[in-house]
Amino acid sequence: MMTRIMLGALLALTTPLGAVERVPAVDESVEQAPAVPPLITVSAVTADSVTIYGDVFFGELDAASPLLLLFHQGGANGRGEYTEIASWLNDAGYRAIAWDQRSGGDMFGESNRTVAGLSDETPSGYCDAYQDLEAALTFVISEGMAEQVIAWGSSYSAALVFRLAAENPDRVSGVVAFSPASGGPLVNCRARMWVNDVKVPMLVFRPDAEMARETSVEQRDILTTAGVSFRVVENGVHGSSLLVDGRTEHDMSRDRTALLEWLGEVTLQ
């Protein structure tokens, strides 16, 4: 699979590389996260020749720090959904790359660069976007950014990260899934299809409001039987945004702490 990096190596990250874009100051709702510096943009090419784009959030961390690949929900993009969260992760000692997948859009006030470059003939359903996750993982491994990563998904991509871990047991060391979707468009790529083949730690967050659905209860039972740690979140919202106070209008520090404790166990920090 072809991958490429835009205008230079990323390992040191001491100077801005690639296409540099300035980002507005971060909403301080996630543990008083500071404004992020200009972003470094990377790109990779999928098996079906789609170019995907990601924003690098490494802060001052070096290559020894764990790396998380952040994948967004439907209608969204990596930068919009994750800028606040990634900055908070940096403060906690974790590097992150937030990717734009082919199934996305302009939610959270940012644009999806991968979607912008698609042709009309390119398959862009939720299950089709699995190739984007594969390309992102191959990219960071081939570029020497990490030997293993944590795969993090939101909504539809929270279903896809289970397959990514199942098919890449030597490259994915953990799975974090926020509100994993399981509706009709996911019929061929639901989390339940892959969870029994995942041999690394798995953690699911789902807001309590979504647990009123029979399908969510059924999914929880299937996933927990397979060994998934399943956390029901009070006052949460759909997807990864449940970590952000400004999006839930509640203090989500307890859930952020639970996530960091789990990440610390998985990465042996």
pLDDT at 19 over 60: no
Residue 99 pairs with which residues in a beta bridge?
Answer: 54, 71
268 pLDDT band, cuts 50/70/90, is: confident
- The first and second tokens of residue 7, run together, are 């205008």
The type of residue at 223 is L
Q: Work out the percent of the chain whose per-residue pLDDT is above 70.
A: 86
Position 269 scores a pLDDT of 53
Sheet containing 172-178, strands listed edge to edge, beginning at the edge strand earlier in sequence: 3-4, 40-45, 51-57, 95-100, 67-71, 149-154, 172-178, 202-207, 229-233
Paired tokens of 97: 């790359």
Contact by Cβ (8 Å): 156, 17: no
pTM, to two decimals: 0.87
At 57, which amino acid appears?
F
Q: What is the predicted pLDDT for the residue at 86?
A: 97
β-pairing, 67-71 with 51-57?
unpaired
Whole-number pLDDT of residue 38:
55
Q: Using CA atoms, how far apart are residues 182 and 185, in angstroms rounded to an integer?
A: 8
CATH T-level assignment (fold) for domain 3-267? Rossmann fold (3.40.50)
Quote the pLDDT of residue 112. 98
Tens digits of per-residue pLDDT, 57-107? 999 999 999 999 999 999 999 999 999 999 999 999 999 999 999 999 999
Cβ–Cβ < 8 Å for 163, 134:
no
Q: In whole numbers, what is the pLDDT of the chain averaged over residues? A: 89
Concatenated DSSP letters of 195-238: GGG--S-EEEEEEGGGGGSHHHHHHHHHHHHTT-EEEEETT--S
Residue-wise pLDDT for 97-139, tens only, equals 999 999 999 999 999 999 999 999 999 999 999 999 999 999 9
Q: What is the tens place of the pLDDT at every residue in 29-66?
A: 454 444 444 579 999 999 999 999 999 999 999 999 99
What is the Cα–Cα distance from 28 to 203, expressed in whole angstroms?
25
Domain ranges of the chain: 3-267
Sign for the CA dihedral angle at 107, 112, 117, 118 comes to: negative
